[in-house]
Structure 1
């Protein structure tokens, strides 16, 4: 068994190409041993596999006395003292750099007296001042600045200055020193200034120092982002408040692609407190004006943001942003995300707020295959008879619900008539919502609807008054045996059926089907269900309408003339 002594063993002489005995002594701070080795003639100029000499070891370890011994030995040798002091490791690190990086103030002072290059760059473009800033060594920074270190040189691959790095690290005491000597508007490779860095990383105290020193609060990066935008995006409320209180412009466009504002970033990332602050100061021109973008678009995935914007009066319809974002409304954007998932809360919020539905929106509703989604819309929309609507009239409300505008009704009819094969899915919902059944008495419907669907639809009309062309279609289907009437459609409808059709006509299908108005009629209560057509069995369906094959998935339906 190998027994290892507790005494520290010195292997340095076994690996002379890794570290010399002189360097090991300098690293450990053993001045007496170092002096003895030097007197024995051991070289202070040997390098290890990193290119380090005893000089670098002493400086990195902060061993000032050892460093003095080494420099004294060099003074007595033939090699130049200044050249030795500025010798570099394989990484391009000088002794001054290593000492500054570790905050060894007295060592840096000694090296500068011995003519160390204060601005020597490393291989990765760092320098003693940048290293001291990065480490937060205030005293070393003060010394280097006072000795004339170059303060505005760019470092690292990102071209940051020392002020950028001090702000990023949050070394506010160092920032106070640097703002008096540095270029406050220095820019990195993305044209980002130190103030922008402070806003991005939430360094509030550094931000205040920079602003009070005169830095531009409305500076813009290469992509036009402002400090206010980035602070809003990252959720730094204190920075947002300070910037707004000191002249930051919330209405400055922050993107080359579209007029993005800080309010869009706050809405997108759900920073509600910041969003509330920005709503109060952002020009409402972004709400509905053409060429602008409502923050509701970016809030689609943040329910709290949508709720706040709607409560503050932002229009649920916003403006058409097809040319900018590829969507004609926030609702269109929200619905586009439902093709593989149940409808989102944002859809519910926008529908409840009265957002208009385009034909493309109706397509998305049916593409989703979610019966609940169609029911949601019908819960918040009132289907008034078409003759009561005017294309350009203001949209009224009935019983707390928004009435479908004529163009919305047109879009709905166009889509559902292109989905006749799935009418068993949508027809009962629309009938119960008060859709006028005569709107569906179209040749295309009668030609292609399932037999059970046809029987269900005809129960809502006086089939004896159908036009001759429509009767011919029905006759042809009977001959082809693609439709089997469940009622004697060749005969005159019963008086009871005609009576309830008349009641429906007088009251209006919307009021009859969606209110308790029928209960106010002077008829026996058992008649209420009959008058509301509750006795008619619904057609069953087995397929979900995740259909709209081919071009319909891109919003291109075959238009059928309606209304």
Structure 2
């Protein structure tokens, strides 16, 4: 499965395999060409001239006078090393702008846009090293801020054909956005760099800045990035900020008007085994509470992804994430298409954790489906569940799961909790046999064989009238003309173990 690093940070994409392929291809070609004669072998070998070596040494050591004396050797300034670096590339990577000025004037104009084996022009090298003076100098001398690699534009003559097929477009502005250098970014934009030119992956500079967490860079890029270009990319910078776990950038983007519910395009979703769609999914997967809160407060919908965000939080056992999602309408009764259970899938992650179990039940988990099993009868009532298809092979009942040898010791505690959320239920013979072995059986049996209190039945009836949608969003409770104590009772506040733990923790902290 592709991870968020692959999707949002192009430094981690196929650059390395590409370079390996290039090197291997060059080696293969070298073998073919050298199979002829010794003369051909000698002509292929890269041998730097003495003048070229002196030029590179002067550039690296910052010896301006020595470099000035070497200007007369113009051909040596057109020689590239095995990585495709010309002297002008080397000069762009030095802090001394005078060195770059001397080298640029000594080099032919055609070399100013020439790329290295990694597709870097001298301007791109200066940007990557955050040398603003060098960037400004190159731009003033006409270097193109929107340059892309051109086919056959390689200094390595023997590898020109391979290189032109293997390399992709690279934008200087994209590199500046990734480096988070506001001065370089501002200069590039001032000299006409286009923020809407995508990389080969479809990403824009704004995506790189958001993923890397470069807040200042985002401030420059948001006003000059077109929504149509973002839509065409299939990815929102909101996804990038969420994937990179940068709440400050995420908050800025949301306040700038970016949609919290922008969904990944289908072609991008295919890069993930889980076919995720929402920015919220990235935030939840990262366990990023702050970003999750920001997205939910901005109206992010928690039930849009093929794998429910709540399922991810439950799998992680993160109470705070679970609570956040439930309070903002996460569907507690989702069904996982992989595990074909008759009861909503969320229960599987809470069997060993009463805090999570109570959280699910309090938010309207359909407990009745756990007891929907005819006693000793192979025929079972059929329910039509959203998202299920004819490919479902087996509708696994709760009793079949909880009576497994490695789970049956939990059956007493789980069923006892469930009984707090139902009226009268029948349990099948299989579940009863296991429950009779549990310590809590006398209590469970007493509840099953005696009438429930009127108070409890009223609570269940009110919850039924409210409907699960309103139970999933308790904010609706504020509109009911009921005393607060009654509202708390309806919402099972006495069984809100997570809320009680937080209250006790806060109380202890304040006392301290």
Q: CA deviation at 1:293?
A: 6.2
Distance 2:361 2:51 in 1: 70
Distance 1:327 1:65 in 2: 78
3-state DSSP of counterpart to 2:428 = helix
Q: CA deviation at 1:227?
A: 1.3
Q: CA deviation at 1:274?
A: 2.1
Report whether the alignment pairs 1:402 with 2:394.
no
Deviations 1:294-353 (A, max 9, x none): 532332223211012223444422x4452xx65779962561697xxx558544532454
Deviations 1:236-289 (A, max 9, x none): 1111111111121112222535562222222332222222222223265x54x8
Q: CA deviation at 1:194?
A: 0.7
Distance 2:204 2:343 in 1: 34
The aligned residue for residue 168 of structure 1 is 178
3-state DSSP of counterpart to 1:381 = helix
The aligned residue for residue 139 of structure 1 is 133
3-state DSSP of counterpart to 1:433 = helix
Higher relative contact order (CA 8 A, sep 6+): 2
Map of 1:295-314 to 2, 5 A cutoff?
295-300=309-314, 301=316, 302-314=318-330
Q: Of the candidates 416, 422, 431, which is equivalent to residue 431 of structure 2?
A: 416
Distance 2:429 2:193 in 1: 66
3-state DSSP of counterpart to 1:251 = coil
Deviations 1:448-494 (A, max 9, x none): xxxxxxxxxxxxxxxxxxxxxxxxxxxxxxxxxxxxxxxxxxxxxxx
Report whether the alignment pairs 1:251 with 2:261.
yes
Distance 1:247 1:70 in 2: 56
Q: Of the candidates 385, 396, 402, which is equivalent to residue 365 of structure 1?
A: 402
CA RMSD of aligned residues (A): 3.7
Map of 1:477-556 to 2, 5 A cutoff?
507-508=450-451
Distance of aligned partners of 1:216 and 1:371 in 2 relative to their CA distance in 1, 3 Å threshold:
same
Of Structure 1 and Structure 2, the greater helix share is in 2
The aligned residue for residue 425 of structure 1 is 437
3-state DSSP of counterpart to 1:179 = helix
3-state DSSP of counterpart to 1:316 = coil
Distance of aligned partners of 1:113 and 1:259 in 2 relative to their CA distance in 1, 3 Å threshold:
closer
Distance of aligned partners of 1:329 and 1:122 in 2 relative to their CA distance in 1, 3 Å threshold:
farther
Deviations 1:490-547 (A, max 9, x none): xxxxxxxxxxxxxx6xx43x66xx9xxxxxxxxxxxxxxxxxxxxxxxxxxxxxxxxx
Distance 1:227 1:90 in 2: 37
3-state DSSP of counterpart to 1:367 = coil
Deviations 1:359-378 (A, max 9, x none): 54724433373456434433
Map of 1:218-367 to 2, 5 A cutoff?
219=230, 224-254=234-264, 256=266, 260-282=277-299, 284=301, 287=303, 294-300=308-314, 301=316, 302-317=318-333, 319-322=334-337, 332-333=345-346, 335=348, 342-343=352-353, 346-357=356-367, 358=369, 360=396, 362=398, 363-367=400-404
Q: CA deviation at 1:142?
A: 0.8
Distance 1:127 1:333 in 2: 53
Report whether the alignment pairs 1:198 with 2:198.
no
Distance 1:242 1:195 in 2: 12
The aligned residue for residue 122 of structure 1 is 116
Distance of aligned partners of 1:216 and 1:59 in 2 relative to their CA distance in 1, 3 Å threshold:
farther
Using the size of structure 1 for normalisation, the TM-score is: 0.55
3-state DSSP of counterpart to 2:70 = helix
Q: CA deviation at 1:198?
A: 0.9
3-state DSSP of counterpart to 2:321 = helix
Greater C-alpha radius of gyration: 1
Distance of aligned partners of 1:264 and 1:326 in 2 relative to their CA distance in 1, 3 Å threshold:
farther
3-state DSSP of counterpart to 1:183 = coil
3-state DSSP of counterpart to 2:257 = coil
**Where does the alignment leave 5 or more consecutive residues of structure 2 unmatched?**
1-45, 150-165, 270-274, 371-395, 457-512
Using the size of structure 2 for normalisation, the TM-score is: 0.60
